[in-house]
């Protein structure tokens, strides 16, 4: 029993948790921006799927074309970088559909998100067939070379968390801090929040509500796409159908638990990341492994059940905005 | 009435839009869309085995669409149909192979009841959490889907795995007893001169599904509970002020939605397979959402919508085999149709609303002064 | 009289032949109007007369279909609020457009934020805000969360918002509807100070006493047209009302004598929770007898909403007792209370009163749909419902194209009639009417007040909650003044002057400022 407890706090586990937090965190951050503007985006799962596919596919394609010319060095960074970029672009393009349908046409945002998820699944299979001939997975790829934290890595006890870190991890942390700062201290952040709280007030002061909402949704798309790219390039080393495993939805739970602030989403995502890591590590246990794999999902339900009462979403979240007619 | 005409034209227009968009994709992979569509239509509509296949594929979609539509109607998002039908189908299978010595008249209904109960149970947690704790049911139902998958996998692989299959890659339950199987429609239709292919598994669940849709439509419009459901759907605050129990109505509708969802897989497991295995069809729940959206949550509209999706599914098979076009193109077409439809419906609703307002204002303005008003 | 002579000969704002159409209605019909610089100009008219539309055109929210607008003699094109703001026009909306979670400073600067390379400079905002407040004598804390402010303070924020953007012309849309008499005095003091600084003020209202108290000139609109522009001095309420409606208007309905019977509704020591868990109603007690109207006077936000919800069972009582028709319904619930014969006209008809997408006939049976007339077994009895609906529509003169028209298509007055027709239908014993004439024009208002008096004559116990003091004064047999969740005073009909009641409405104390005399200079 003490063994089990000790292993729950082991550094290797923490390191794994950090890695698994990243995709949830990035998507949750994207969700924060979208919902702060007042647009609910259930389609983030689909955006992540697009990110996983395009990330892997473009990385593979670039690696095939560039590497033979000059192996190693800058070329080895080019392929995954191109993949990450492609993943972000795919996320933006996909979320653009949601923006058009939900903001311009003012369709119910939940429905739009659900439709988007359906589209993503079919599109991913189709594109995979197009690119690689099979429906459900891509060839293996190599991601960024992981780096080590200088100094800390020398300490054997800290080795697990100081070595083998993907460059995207610090990117994610910086994104959270930047996101928080932008929301609180910039003109853009103030206006985005205004549009999510009371679009009528913002409109009367000359702020373009639709434009701000588009911005929030597209930022969400970029971050969700990046999250997907990280999943396939840095973690999965390739695209596999279903690899997102519902993380797009878990990210929404993290956003809620974080009370719609980037810093809060960080804490919440870390919690889910921890359980995700736990589910991968607890191999010998009397609990059947199938249930361990859905540990993050169970935790999500518990979190939502416990927290919703104290949640304070943006006041106009999820409500399409119609300009006053009369 | 122009309005009625517009409302009737909307679905076909959206579907047309979907086909046009998918045509673009077909072109992009180097095939001729007209060829492909022509082939699809011929394959789906001119072969007898296709008609039967379409009806068979549509059967689960009718249940799925109805379940989703009922919950959407009261502004509750039951995205958990996927998990609910999975546990429902498994529960029915379990009754089918684990309970012996019952006559068919009891065994089959018992299996159905098991499916209803399992689906209802799987819907219970999200709705209770939503009503008592305000937990957003979109996320909780989706989480329950994953948990359902894990649970059923565990039961299949570790508890109820058919010992006769040990050593093979097949993971499935033992065979269901014949007394739990649902009768096929062929014995009824063939004497009537309607040809049904030998291998078709078209069964009575089709009839049950259609009957449920008709019943739901009738009850919604004409029953007291249906009135309360509609009031709660459109304005919960006013319904509450009128003494209608909000929580009660939402709870009941959501559970009914889950129960119907439990029936989705029964046509397959009790009519076709005769066992539940690891490759049991997935994704029927999400297709049900598409069907419900296409039908605008109208129970009667579910029937043609499910048939359309059955047609598309069959057509997807055909284009893959005969035209070399990946069947995913049809999946994409389905998603585009959904998007087009919801946009079109939104625009239509707004237009109808404006027209109605204009009409009422004309009537009010014709009144003597100081009664009613001309807003703004 | 303006205290500055106009600096230019041309008016500050001139509207020439402004015309605006909406689907089915001509909102503004060749309106021509001149507003002089440095005056307070009132725009009056019934609901639907077109005043709001006209002002929205002036603020750039709508574009006129025809006509010109000139400012200081030059034609201008007000294509958007931004443009109007840039030209010095500022609008203080009737329904405040404030973001409750933001601070005063954030609300004021939104859209025109002081910034450095995209980074907000809230310190500069605070400095500028304080300067403005000092200049015009407003008292506001830049860092207070707007959601915690009183209504009067929130209105001040709205005014400062427009001053911050350099407004020279201020448009105030029904500013006094939600203020106590004391806050109205404060507002008028501020307006006079603004006028002294050379600002031009357009004041939209339908409260005639106030219009006469503050305005220099008055323009009356009726059915989209200007029917007269007069100096405020020497004009009477009756004259203005007649211009507004086009016929002599009965401003006070005759009240027949009725002797009250047994107590039908009694509330003792009621405590009801409000927002953020704090009690909105703190120990209210009163009793209402059959044939009596108990009027609850008070400014909105003092617990009336919560009290009414408690009386109809929509909000639980934390403490105290509620007895209706002799039954203890403290822990009742809307259904139980309804079954005792309580009719409820909700203060927000769109939220609590009607299911807008449903048909008129379906709305007419809402809450009573379980009665045997409307139900046979599990199913609805369509003939019974239709017969009932036809009867109600005729009796109450509800204007609707058909019984199947969705309620959302009806005008506000007709929607309210549907509610009234429904609530009166089953010989109720008690009527609880909350702000029943809110948003209605004079004709519909007259109708609803008549119905309330009818109810009284028919022996109902009536609880009437209204923010309109004159409504309470003319209808109520007894008046309870509510302030901060407590009934602070009770008077019989005629037992107190409006000023006295107003004093109790604000807690019995003046705000500390010198009272400004009501007559214009």
CA distance C282 to chain A (A): 25
| SS3 category, C103 | strand
The answer to the question of residue B288 being in a domain is: yes
Q: Which of C362, C367, C371 is nearest to C313 (CA)?
A: C367
A253/B335 Cβ within 8 A:
no
Cis peptide before B376 (omega within 30 of 0): yes
Please report residues of B whose CB lies closer than 8 A to that of A114.
Answer: 79, 286, 289, 293
Q: Is A137 left (phi over 0), alpha (psi -120 to 50) or beta?
A: beta
C375/B224 Cβ within 8 A:
yes
Report the topology of domain C262-341+428-508: Rossmann fold (3.40.50)
A197/C97 Cβ within 8 A:
no
Q: Which two tokens stand for residue B219?
A: 């009850």
Q: What is the DSSP letter of B172?
A: B
Tens of pLDDT, residues B211-259:
999 999 999 999 999 999 999 989 999 999 998 999 999 999 999 999 9
A245/B146 Cβ within 8 A:
yes
Cα–Cα distance for residue pair A255/A267, rounded to 1 Å: 10
Q: Is A3 on the interface with C (CB under 8 A)?
A: no
Architecture of domain C1-88+168-244: 3-Layer(aba) Sandwich (3.40)
Nearest to B223 among C46, C380, C399 (CB): C380
Nearest to B347 among A105, A114, A129 (CB): A105
Going from the C-alpha of C300 to that of each of B107, C77, C122, C441, the distances in angstroms are 64, 38, 33, 20
- A6 pLDDT band, cuts 50/70/90, is low
CA distance A272 to chain B (A): 13
CA distance B42 to chain A (A): 24
Q: Is B77 on the interface with A (CB under 8 A)?
A: yes
Alpha helices, DSSP H, located in chain A: 2-8, 11-36, 44-66, 74-99, 109-132, 159-162, 168-185, 187-197, 199-204, 209-229, 247-257, 262-281, 289-293, 295-307
Torsion over CA: C251, C253, C254, C259 (sign): negative
pTM for the whole thing?
Answer: 0.82
The number of folded domains in chain B is 1
Instruction: Give the pLDDT confidence score for residue B364 in this predicted structure.
Output: 62
Q: Which two tokens stand for residue C206?
A: 């339908």
Q: Which residues of chain C from 214 to 233 reach within 8 Å of chain B, CB to CB? A: 223
Provide CB contacts within 8 A for A114, sequence distance 6+.
A42, A43, B79, B286, B289, B293
Q: Round the average pLDDT of chain A to a whole number and report it.
A: 87
C308 to chain B: closest CA residue = B241
- Helix (H), strand (E) at residue C267: strand C263-273
Q: Which two tokens stand for residue C367?
A: 């809450």
C355/B235 Cβ within 8 A:
yes
B376/C27 Cβ within 8 A:
yes
CA distance B108 to chain C (A): 29
Q: Which of A95, A78, A81, A83 is nearest to A27 (CA)?
A: A95
B142/A245 Cβ within 8 A:
no
Is residue A80 over pLDDT 90?
no
| CB burial of residue B164 (10 Å; 0-12, 13-18, 19+) | exposed
- A73 pLDDT band, cuts 50/70/90, is low
Counting one residue from chain A and one from chain C, the pairs whose CB atoms sit within 8 A come to 69
Q: By a Cβ cutoff of 8 Å, what residues of chain C touch chain A?
A: 22, 27, 52-53, 56, 61, 80-82, 85, 91, 93, 97-102, 106-107, 110-113, 115, 118-120, 161
Q: Which residues of chain C from 402 to 431 reach within 8 Å of chain B, CB to CB? A: 405-406, 408-414
Please provide the size of chain C in residues. 521
Q: What is the DSSP letter of C407?
A: G
The domain segmentation of chain C, as residue ranges, is: 1-88+168-244, 95-166, 262-341+428-508, 357-426
B326 to chain A: closest CA residue = A126
Nearest to C85 among A190, A200, A206 (CB): A206
Q: Which of C510, C499, C150 is nearest to C300 (CA)?
A: C150
Cα–Cα distance for residue pair B206/B198, rounded to 1 Å: 18
B68 to chain A: closest CA residue = A111
Between A63 and B254, the higher pLDDT residue: B254
Q: Is B140 on the interface with A (CB under 8 A)?
A: yes
Cα–Cα distance for residue pair B328/B315, rounded to 1 Å: 11
Between A225 and B163, the higher pLDDT residue: A225
Q: What is the DSSP letter of B170?
A: -
Bridge-partner residues for C294, per DSSP?
A: C463, C478
Between A281 and A108, the higher pLDDT residue: A108
Q: Is A322 on the interface with C (CB under 8 A)?
A: no
Nearest to A190 among C61, C106, C161 (CB): C106
Containing domain of residue B142, as a range? 58-316
C118/A188 Cβ within 8 A:
yes
- Of the residues B320, B328, B334, B361, the best mutation for testing chain A's interface (the one with the most A CB atoms within 10 Å of its CB) is B328
Percentage of residues in chain B having pLDDT higher than 90: 41
Instruction: Give the pLDDT confidence score for residue A67 in this predicted structure.
Output: 64
The answer to the question of residue B42 being in a domain is: no
CA distance B320 to chain A (A): 12
Tens of pLDDT, residues B357-373:
777 766 666 654 333 33
CA distance A260 to chain C (A): 14
Nearest to C113 among A187, A197, A204 (CB): A187
Classify strands C66-71 and C217-222 as parallel, antiparallel or unpaired: unpaired
Q: Which two tokens stand for residue C23?
A: 């689907």
What are the φ/ψ torsions at residue A168 (nearest 5 degrees)? -70, -25
Spans in chain C with pLDDT lower than 70:
1-9, 23-24, 47-48, 245-251, 276, 506-521
Please report residues of A whose CB lies closer than 8 A to that of C107.
Answer: 201
Lowest mean pLDDT among A54-58, B46-50, B233-237, C347-351: B46-50
C413/B372 Cβ within 8 A:
yes
CATH number for the domain that contains residue B84: 1.10.3470
Q: Which two tokens stand for residue C306?
A: 């919560």
Please report residues of C whose CB lies closer than 8 A to that of A191.
Answer: 110-111
Bridge-partner residues for C292, per DSSP?
A: C461
B352 to chain C: closest CA residue = C409
Which chains sit next to A, with 3 or more Cβ pairs under 8 A? B, C
Q: Which residues of chain B from 344 to 363 reach within 8 Å of chain A, CB to CB? A: 345-347
The answer to the question of residue B349 being in a domain is: no
Q: Which residues of chain C from 239 to 258 reach within 8 Å of chain B, CB to CB? A: 245-247
Q: Which two tokens stand for residue C232?
A: 């405020």
CA distance B246 to chain C (A): 11
A324/C119 Cβ within 8 A:
no
Please report residues of A whose CB lies closer than 8 A to that of B134.
Answer: 308-309, 311
Is residue B347 over pLDDT 50?
yes
Instruction: Give the pLDDT confidence score for residue C509 in this predicted structure.
Output: 42
Cα–Cα distance for residue pair B159/B276, rounded to 1 Å: 13
Q: CATH number of the domain at A6-136+156-310, please?
A: 1.10.3470
CA distance C335 to chain B (A): 4
C106 to chain A: closest CA residue = A190
Please report residues of C whose CB lies closer than 8 A to that of A202.
Answer: 110-111
Instruction: Give the pLDDT confidence score for residue A261 in this predicted structure.
Output: 95
CA dihedral A158, A161, A162, A164 (to 10 degrees): 140
Q: Which two tokens stand for residue B74?
A: 């009261």
Alpha helices, DSSP H, located in C118-180: 122-136, 151-164
Residue pair C155/C184 in contact by the 8 Å Cβ criterion: no
Q: Which residues of chain A from 51 to 70 reach within 8 Å of chain C, CB to CB? A: none
Nearest to B375 among C48, C247, C334 (CB): C48
Residue pair A233/A84 in contact by the 8 Å Cβ criterion: yes
The answer to the question of residue B293 being in a domain is: yes
Q: Which two tokens stand for residue C6?
A: 């106009």
Lowest mean pLDDT among B46-60, B280-294, C6-20, C128-142: C6-20
Instruction: Give the pLDDT confidence score for residue C520 in this predicted structure.
Output: 33
Instruction: Give the pLDDT confidence score for residue C337 in this predicted structure.
Output: 93
Lowest mean pLDDT among A145-149, B119-123, B176-180, B221-225: A145-149
B242/C411 Cβ within 8 A:
no
Is residue B375 over pLDDT 60?
no
Q: Is A204 on the interface with C (CB under 8 A)?
A: yes
The answer to the question of residue B191 being in a domain is: yes
Residue pair A168/C96 in contact by the 8 Å Cβ criterion: no
C356/B222 Cβ within 8 A:
no
């Amino acid at each position: 029993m003490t063994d089990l407890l000790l292993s729950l706090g082991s550094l290797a586990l923490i390191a794994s948790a950090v890695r698994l937090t990243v995709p949830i965190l990035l998507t949750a951050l994207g969700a924060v921006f979208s919902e702060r503007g007042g647009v609910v985006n259930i389609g983030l799962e689909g955006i992540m799927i697009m990110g996983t596919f395009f990330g892997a596919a473009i990385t593979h394609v670039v690696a095939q074309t560039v590497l033979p010319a000059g192996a190693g060095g800058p070329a080895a960074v080019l392929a995954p970088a191109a993949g990450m970029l492609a993943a972000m672009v795919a996320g933006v393009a996909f979320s653009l559909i949601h923006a058009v349908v939900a903001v311009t046409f003012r369709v119910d945002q939940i429905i739009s998100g659900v439709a988007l998820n359906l589209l993503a699944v079919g599109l991913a299979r189709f594109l995979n067939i197009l690119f690689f001939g099979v429906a459900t997975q891509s060839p293996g790829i190599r991601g960024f070379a992981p780096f080590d934290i200088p100094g800390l890595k020398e300490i054997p006890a800290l080795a697990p968390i100081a070595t083998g870190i993907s460059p995207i991890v610090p990117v994610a942390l910086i994104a959270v801090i930047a996101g928080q700062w932008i929301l609180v201290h910039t003109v853009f952040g103030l206006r985005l929040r205004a549009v999510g709280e009371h679009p009528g007030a913002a409109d009367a002061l000359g702020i373009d509500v639709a434009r701000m909402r588009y911005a929030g949704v597209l930022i969400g798309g970029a971050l969700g796409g990046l999250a997907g790219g990280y999943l396939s390039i840095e973690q999965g080393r390739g695209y596999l159908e279903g690899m997102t495993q519902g993380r797009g939805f878990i990210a929404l739970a993290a956003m809620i638990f974080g009370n719609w602030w980037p810093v809060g989403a960080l804490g919440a995502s870390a919690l889910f990341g921890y359980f995700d890591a736990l589910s991968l590590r607890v191999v010998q246990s009397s609990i059947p492994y199938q249930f361990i794999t859905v540990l993050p999902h169970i935790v999500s339900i518990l979190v939502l059940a416990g927290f919703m009462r104290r949640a304070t979403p943006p006041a106009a979240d999820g409500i399409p905005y119609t300009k006053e007619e009369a | 009435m122009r309005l009625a005409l517009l409302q009737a034209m909307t679905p076909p227009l959206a579907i047309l839009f979907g086909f046009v968009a998918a045509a673009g994709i077909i072109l992009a992979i180097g095939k001729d869309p007209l060829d492909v569509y022509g082939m699809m239509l011929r394959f789906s509509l001119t072969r007898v085995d296709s008609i039967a296949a379409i009806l068979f594929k549509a059967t689960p979609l009718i249940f799925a669409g109805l379940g989703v539509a009922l919950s959407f109607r009261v502004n509750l998002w039951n995205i958990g149909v996927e998990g609910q039908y999975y546990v429902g189908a498994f529960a029915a299978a379990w009754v089918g192979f684990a309970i012996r010595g019952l006559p068919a008249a009891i065994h089959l209904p018992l299996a159905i009841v098991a499916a209803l109960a399992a689906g209802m149970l799987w819907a219970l947690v999200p709705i209770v959490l939503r009503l008592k704790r305000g937990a957003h049911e979109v996320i909780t139902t989706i989480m329950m889907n994953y948990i359902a998958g894990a649970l059923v996998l565990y039961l299949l692989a570790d508890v109820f795995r058919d010992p006769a299959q040990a050593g093979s890659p097949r993971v499935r339950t033992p065979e269901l007893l014949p007394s739990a199987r649902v009768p096929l429609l062929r014995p009824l239709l063939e004497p009537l001169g309607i040809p049904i292919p030998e291998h078709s598994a078209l069964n009575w669940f089709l009839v049950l599904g259609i009957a449920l849709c008709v019943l739901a439509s009738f009850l919604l419009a004409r029953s007291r509970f249906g009135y309360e459901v509609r009031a709660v759907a459109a304005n919960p605050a006013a319904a509450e002020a009128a003494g209608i129990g909000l929580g009660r109505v939402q709870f009941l509708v959501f559970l009914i939605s889950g129960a119907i969802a439990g029936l989705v897989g029964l046509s397959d497991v009790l009519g076709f397979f005769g066992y539940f295995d690891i490759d049991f069809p997935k994704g029927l729940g999400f297709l049900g959402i598409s069907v419900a959206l296409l039908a605008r949550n109208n129970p009667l509209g579910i029937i043609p919508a499910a048939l359309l999706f059955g047609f598309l599914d069959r057509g997807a098979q055909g284009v893959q085999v005969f035209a070399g076009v990946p069947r995913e193109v049809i999946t994409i077409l389905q998603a585009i149709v959904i998007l087009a439809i919801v946009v079109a419906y939104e625009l239509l609703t707004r237009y109808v609303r404006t027209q109605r307002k204009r009409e009422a204002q004309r009537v009010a303005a014709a009144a003597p002064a100081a009664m009613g008003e001309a807003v703004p | 009289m303006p205290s500055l002579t106009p600096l230019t000969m041309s008016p500050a704002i001139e509207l020439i032949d402004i015309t605006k159409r909406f689907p089915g209605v001509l909102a503004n019909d060749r309106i021509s109007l001149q507003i002089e610089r440095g005056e307070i100009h009132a725009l009056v008219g019934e609901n639907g007369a077109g005043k709001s539309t006209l002002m929205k055109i002036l603020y750039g929210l709508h574009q006129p279909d025809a006509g010109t607008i000139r400012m200081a003699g030059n034609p201008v094109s007000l294509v958007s609020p931004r443009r109007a703001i840039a030209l010095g026009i500022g609008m203080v909306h009737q329904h405040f457009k404030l973001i409750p979670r933001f601070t005063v400073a954030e609300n004021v600067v939104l859209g025109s934020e002081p910034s450095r390379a995209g980074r907000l400079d809230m310190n500069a905002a605070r400095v500028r805000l304080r300067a403005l407040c000092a200049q015009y004598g407003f008292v506001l804390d830049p860092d207070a969360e707007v959601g915690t402010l009183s209504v009067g303070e929130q209105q001040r924020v709205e005014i400062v918002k427009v001053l911050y953007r350099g407004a020279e012309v201020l448009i105030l849309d029904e500013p006094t509807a939600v203020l106590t008499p004391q806050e109205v005095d404060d507002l008028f003091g501020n307006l006079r100070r603004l006028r002294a600084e050379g600002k031009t003020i357009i004041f939209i209202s339908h409260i005639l006493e106030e219009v006469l108290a503050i305005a220099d000139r008055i323009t009356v609109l009726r059915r989209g047209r200007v029917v007269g522009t007069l100096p405020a001095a020497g004009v009477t309420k009756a004259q203005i009302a007649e211009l507004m409606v086009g016929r002599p208007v009965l401003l006070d309905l005759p009240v027949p004598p009725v002797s009250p019977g047994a107590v039908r509704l009694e509330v003792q020591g009621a405590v009801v929770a409000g927002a953020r868990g704090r009690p909105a109603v703190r120990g209210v007690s009163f009793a209402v007898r059959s044939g009596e109207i108990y009027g609850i006077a008070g400014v909105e936000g003092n617990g009336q909403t919560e009290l009414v919800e408690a009386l109809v069972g929509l909000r639980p009582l934390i403490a105290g007792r509620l007895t209706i028709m002799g039954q203890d319904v403290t822990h009742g619930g809307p259904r139980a209370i309804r079954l005792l014969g309580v009719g409820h006209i909700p203060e927000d008809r769109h939220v609590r009163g009607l299911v807008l997408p449903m048909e008129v006939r379906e709305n007419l049976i809402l809450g009573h749909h379980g009665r045997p007339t409307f139900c046979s077994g599990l199913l609805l009895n369509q003939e019974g419902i239709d017969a009932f609906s036809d009867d109600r529509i005729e009796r109450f003169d509800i204007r609707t194209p058909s019984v199947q028209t969705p309620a959302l298509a009806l005008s506000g007055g007709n929607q309210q009639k549907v509610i009234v027709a429904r609530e009166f239908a089953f010989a109720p014993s008690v009527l609880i009417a909350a702000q029943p004439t809110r948003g209605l024009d004079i004709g519909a208002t007259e109708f609803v007040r008549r119905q309330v008096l009818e109810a009284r004559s028919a022996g109902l116990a009536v609880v009437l909650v209204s923010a309109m003091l004159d409504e309470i004064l003319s209808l109520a047999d007894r008046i309870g003044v509510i302030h901060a969740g407590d009934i602070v005073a009770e008077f019989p009909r005629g037992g107190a002057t409006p000023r006295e009641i107003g004093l109790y409405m604000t807690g019995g104390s003046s705000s500390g400022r010198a009272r400004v005399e009501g007559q214009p200079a």
